A and B are shown apart, each in its own frame.
Chain A
Amino acid sequence: MSGGLQLEAQDLAAAYGRAQVLFGVSLALAPGEVLALVGRNGAGKSTTLKAIMGLVPATGTVRLGGQDIARLPAFERARLGLGYVPEDRRIFTDLTVLENLETGRRPPRSGRAPFTEARLFAMFPNLAEMRHRRGGAMSGGEQQMLALARTLMGNPAVLLLDEPSEGLAPRIVAEMAKAVAALKAEGLSILVSEQNVAFTRAIADRALLIERGAVRAAGSVGEIEARLAADALGTDAQ
């Protein structure tokens, strides 16, 4: 496996102020694997990703390629190979597309072709056409692509994707799925939180059902989706 690293989290617990959101989440992601976190809004998927990235105070352990990173600040985790694409995209609205890409630039990782603006523009032709446009003047779908491209500029080994298809038109969702598949083919490990069933099926190898801040079930995407459907309608799935 060329690109990805092993990511492992154990007993992650986190709270926003006094509101506890995570109650001991554990997961493991193999190199080159795509793992989906499935669950309702507010179940703790986003917080799981933020806790792994070091963006919310959390307890528990996080290992990247065997190294314990749980005590490192977010920027050091990023330098070690974690790439984070936030749920609300958090594009720098005053910066142009090229400038947004620049903020993500990190040195190449050995043993893999580095991401460059040219490569990313080939991957997302839309962005190439608007390279001088301000982030704030882009549509949601374009911003989502930019957010992913910006993170890729850092040549991450593990990608954390938070709701990449949320609020996007179906055509753009398909494009995102293609992009994620291409990254997987390059060997990146990807942890994705997602509510869109079709999208999850298209990209994920496995899924975890997150509920009320804990992992409720693990299995294939199909199994987990069925479980989620049953839960939502209050019918007994067991």
Chain B
Amino acid sequence: MDLILAQFLTGLAAACSLFLVASGLSLIFGVTRIVNFAHGAFYMLGAYAAYWLQQRLAGPVGFWGAVVLAALLVGALGALMEMTLLRRIYRAPELFQLLATFGVTLMMEDVVVLLFGPEDLLGARAPGLKGAVEVMGQQVPAYDLFLVALGPLVLLALTLALKRTRWGILVRAATQDRDMVAALGVNQKWLFTSVFALGIVLAALGGALQLPRGETAHHTMDLKIIVEAFVVVVIGGLGSVPGAFLAALLVAELNAFGILVLPEVSLVLVFLVMAVVLVARPYGLLGRPQSAQRGALVVTARPWRPFTAPERAIALALAALAAMLPLAGGAYALSVGAEVALFVLFAASLHLVMGAGGMASFGHAAYFGLGAYGAALAVTAGAPMLAALAAGPLLALLGAVAFGWFCVRLSGVYSAMLTLAFAQIAWAVAFQWVGVTGGDNGLIGIWPAAWAASPATFYWLSLAAALLGVALLRMVIFSPFGLALRAVRDNPARAEALGLSRQRVQWAAFAIAGTLAGVAGALFAFLKGSVFPDVLGIPLSVDALAMVLLGGVGTVIGPVPGAILYKLLSIVLVSATAYSKLLLGGLVVALVVAAPRGIAGAALDLLARRRATP
């Protein structure tokens, strides 16, 4: 009983930071409709800034002053980002803002390494709260009790600010109807900036307050928190601060007790709960249906069309050129080439769902990873390579059919978050089912059969899979089914009136895309000779998203140049510089601002302009 109480208090303490981060994220989304992926990065900056300031300011006043100062400084930085970057892209579809803030996140991860080094930094303990307090016979850290009290206080303060101040009233009004607020003479720009700054202050405060719990500041702490904060915001309902509070408590307690009661499934638990909540309440616990849908994901003035004869000739020539790589490159180049080819297939499969289907997916790595694990498990069970190459995609197909059935029942950000939840569930299973998957140690010894073992042959195999896969996807896109998929994306109501069921069409697209991602994943397992839970991880899902968006989600060919550029760049940058993320992130941000329609989109725009002016 006492242990349960202690664990409960630990959960409440953990909920505090989570609530701070999530409420900021939720406020920002409610008013600006921006899904701020960089929120975790600002949390991280908050921790680092507090650490740095605490090294320089003495005494209790210095300690607490550092916490507050860190939050304010980082908040100012957030406001700067909003004014210089986000203001340029408010009219763009939601996913582009997500991509831009993702770029910023990449940059910041390297910036903190640049400034503070790669080591974990252990912060100072809070003066006056260093000891433990006995609660019903259990020792509970005094600082935890402070956090337990702080959470509700922040909720109260936020609630008062939203209910009792003019600013708060305007924020709530703008959450419901931005245009009407403008018609009443309110300058939205500053309202947005102030909300953004407040959200970032809360995130940074959350980071700064984590240090005295014994958590270290490190350059990867952003990812874990952003995923949990997303989950909290979605469970609570986008835009609802009390919802974020409730959900933060729920998630933190699930984490606290999950480890105690069901250690095998503790990592899945949160995502399972999120999936259940979303299926039962599509807008979260306290959320409301989103008002106006903004710019559609895919807008194109040029109808998609198959290659003309000369274009096909060029494509074949480029493919032939790619096939000649073994003449010029050594084993390393061929392995890089194979990896790029597999990611082209991976990105192209996501593009079927996103580009042709208009559904955002934050969890496409699930199917890549299921393909990889399917193949690796088959090999471990003694199957030959070809059978393993069939087993992988089959597992991916099963996953896509099961997950897709739920995802197509929601729409917009909620549907995208559900894809993320399923990917995380798959990841957690791979991570925790040690008996089968090897857990963190992964499955090793997944080497190709003798006939495919040489670097050149494996490269050709990967290239062939990519070329055939992309050709197949193009065939699907231009088939009657592809037309139906694009019709549903363009106008679901009109499609229904023509006798088309949106959910069935999108579900089938999910299955096809999942299977092809599984092919890429299965080959990837053989390329690396091993499989680790990373192949199901969020970074991989985000990479795929970035490839499709950078290439141009509104074009058919987009994912191919997008994947080649992004994958090559990340490989080259990693080997060339210690700060590859800084450069890659900067590039992503620059491309989002300069070429919002992606590389292929910009190229097609250029061509069209050339033709228009002879």
Contacts and interface: CB of A to CB of B under 8 A. Distances in A.
Nearest to A102: B169
A104 B184 contact: yes
A94 interface: yes
A84 B173 CA distance: 16
Given A55-B179, A105-B166, A78 B184 contact: yes
Contacts of B173: 92, 95, 99-100, 103
Given A74-B182, A74-B183, A92-B176, 19 more contacts: A74-B179, A75-B183, A75-B184, A75-B185, A84-B183, A92-B172, A92-B173, A92-B180, A93-B176, A95-B172, A99-B169, A100-B173, A103-B169, A103-B184, A104-B184, A105-B166, A106-B184, A150-B184, A154-B185
A90 B292 CA distance: 14
A144 interface: no
B290 to A, nearest CB: 15
A90 B180 contact: yes
Nearest to A90: B180
Interface in B181-203: 181-188
B169 A75 contact: no
B177 interface: yes
Interface of A: 53, 55, 73-75, 78-79, 84, 86, 90, 92-95, 99-100, 102-106, 150-151, 154
Contacts of A94: 172, 176
A78 B166 contact: no
Given A92-B173, A102-B169, A103-B169, A86 B187 contact: no
A102 B176 contact: no
Contact of B185 (A79, A92, A93): A79
Contacts of A151: 184
B170 interface: yes
Contacts of B177: 90, 92
A95 B168 CA distance: 11
Interface residues of B, number: 17
Interface of B: 166, 169-170, 172-173, 176-177, 179-188
A75 B186 contact: yes
A75 B187 contact: yes
Contacts of B180: 86, 90, 92
A194 B173 CA distance: 27
B184 A154 contact: yes
A102 B166 CA distance: 7
Consensus secondary structure, chain B interface: helix
Nearest to B180: A90
Nearest to B288: A94
27 contacts: A55-B179, A55-B183, A73-B182, A74-B179, A74-B182, A75-B182, A75-B187, A78-B182, A78-B183, A78-B184, A79-B185, A84-B183, A86-B183, A90-B180, A92-B172, A92-B180, A94-B172, A95-B169, A99-B172, A102-B166, A102-B169, A103-B169, A103-B170, A103-B173, A103-B181, A104-B184, A151-B184
Contacts of B185: 75, 78-79, 104, 106, 154
Nearest to A89: B180
A101 to B, nearest CB: 10
A107 B398 CA distance: 63
A35 to B, nearest CB: 20
A103 B170 CA distance: 6
B183 A53 contact: yes
Contacts of A99: 169, 172-173
A86 B179 CA distance: 11
B172 to A, nearest CB: 6
A84 B181 CA distance: 11
A82 B133 CA distance: 61
B184 to A, nearest CB: 5
Contacts of B172: 92, 94-95, 99
A221 B319 CA distance: 74
A102 B179 CA distance: 16
Contacts of A104: 184-185
A94 B162 CA distance: 12
A136 to B, nearest CB: 10
Q: Which of B166, B170, B180, B181 has the most CB of A within 10 A?
A: B180
A21 B496 CA distance: 27
Sort A-B residue pairs by CB-CB distance and give the 5 closest, nearest first. A78-B185, A74-B182, A90-B180, A92-B173, A75-B182
Contacts of A78: 182-185
A45 to B, nearest CB: 17
A154 B188 CA distance: 16
Q: Which of A73, A99, A100, A151 has the most CB of B within 10 A?
A: A99
A55 B183 CA distance: 8
A73 B580 CA distance: 42
